[in-house]
Amino acid sequence: MPDAVSLLEAVSRVAPLGFRFRDELSGLGVGDGLAVSVRPASSAAPAPAASTSPSGVFAFHALPGLVARPPPPAHPRLPVQFGEGDGAYWAGLPPPVTFTIDVADPWGRFLPCSFQATAPSRGLFLPPCVPLSPPGSPPGIDDAIPLFSAAARVVPGPVAVVRAELWDPVAAAPAAWALVEARLGGGPTFRGVADADGRLAIFLPYPAPDDPFNSPPASLVPGLGPPLTAQEWPLELAAHYARQAPVPAAPDLCTVLGQPPAALWGRYAGAVPLAGLTVRFGRELVVRSDDTDPPAGSVRVTA
């Protein structure tokens, strides 16, 4: 018979800050391939990188300068990660401290960004600029921070692709970090962000084929309905933009999401709004303004 085991001491650890990310296209969580680090908001020196749980939650178990108040009778002050995580633990924590979270994707799928976070924070942290359920947004994880596709991202399956190079004619510079909303065929709104050079890629799921039949679709039956490759849908674009000077290498997420409405021009020189866009199945759409002055082929956007 084995000897009885006596529990001499138990140590409980609590992460003072945790959050997760989602792909703006699929709405699914992103837990692999990201480089996530933290630094005090007043410093550029990074702290250790976040750890990732099997469920895709990024957590920091140790943050510089965070120590808990000693309970009575007084004991040495301990880092906030040591505690039971119960109500008494959260009630006895020091005032929150603001940190800057830096996010990069070495795999090249998503644009870099940063955001402000306060810790200790109970539960998953979500920046105040990220609503739980954006109106008209596709279904996905509500309590996750959105990541936007890089222009060089490999096309993730059979989806519509809209590309553009955004140009600010007032500043005579790329419209860096402009936010663009896209609706295809009256469906949900998907968002894309231009990179520091104004390059934009928005990926959208195709709407259902425009067929009068349900099963099987007429486009799949020879002689009935238009072929799938001939299917096309109207595209609506709306921009939000405010020039940042100097242009950051990685923008603040809340600054990007909080940009005011801007105009997209079919021809800036003649004040003709961008309109009449159509996406055809299986073909990338490259959006351009009709202006011929350099840089030709770009889309003019003004705040």
Please check the confidence at residue 268 and state whether its pLDDT lies above 80. yes
Q: Tens of pLDDT along 117-147?
A: 988 888 899 999 997 655 455 555 778 999 9
| Residues 6+ positions from 123 with CB-CB distance below 8 Å | 18
> 252, 243, 256, 247: which is closest to 196 by C-alpha?
247
Q: Identify which has the larger pLDDT, 201 or 220.
A: 201
Cα separation, 119 vs 16, whole angstroms = 6
Average pLDDT rounded to a whole number, residues 161-173:
97
Q: Identify which has the larger pLDDT, 203 or 16.
A: 203
Q: Which of 52-61, 208-217, 242-251 has the lowest mean pLDDT?
A: 208-217
Where would I find the beta strands (DSSP E) of 206-284?
Answer: 232-240, 261-267, 272-273, 277-280
Please check the confidence at residue 148 and state whether its pLDDT lies above 90. yes
Phi and psi at residue 237, in whole multiples of 5°? -125, 140
Q: Which of 38-42, 53-57, 160-164 has the lowest mean pLDDT?
A: 38-42
User: How does the average pLDDT of the chain come out, rounded?
Assistant: 84
Q: What is the CATH number of domain 15-64+80-147?
A: 2.60.40
Exposed (0-12), middle (13-18) or buried (19+): which is 27, by Cβ within 10 Å? middle
**pLDDT band at 182; cut points 50, 70, 90:** very high
The domain locations on the chain are 15-64+80-147, 148-302
Which residues, in sequence order, are bridge partners of residue 67? 79
pLDDT of 157 reads: 83
pLDDT of 214 reads: 45
**pLDDT band at 176; cut points 50, 70, 90:** very high
Q: Tens of pLDDT along 76-127?
A: 555 565 555 566 666 667 778 899 999 999 999 999 999 999 888 888 999 9
Average pLDDT rounded to a whole number, residues 165-184:
97
Percent of the chain with pLDDT over 70: 75
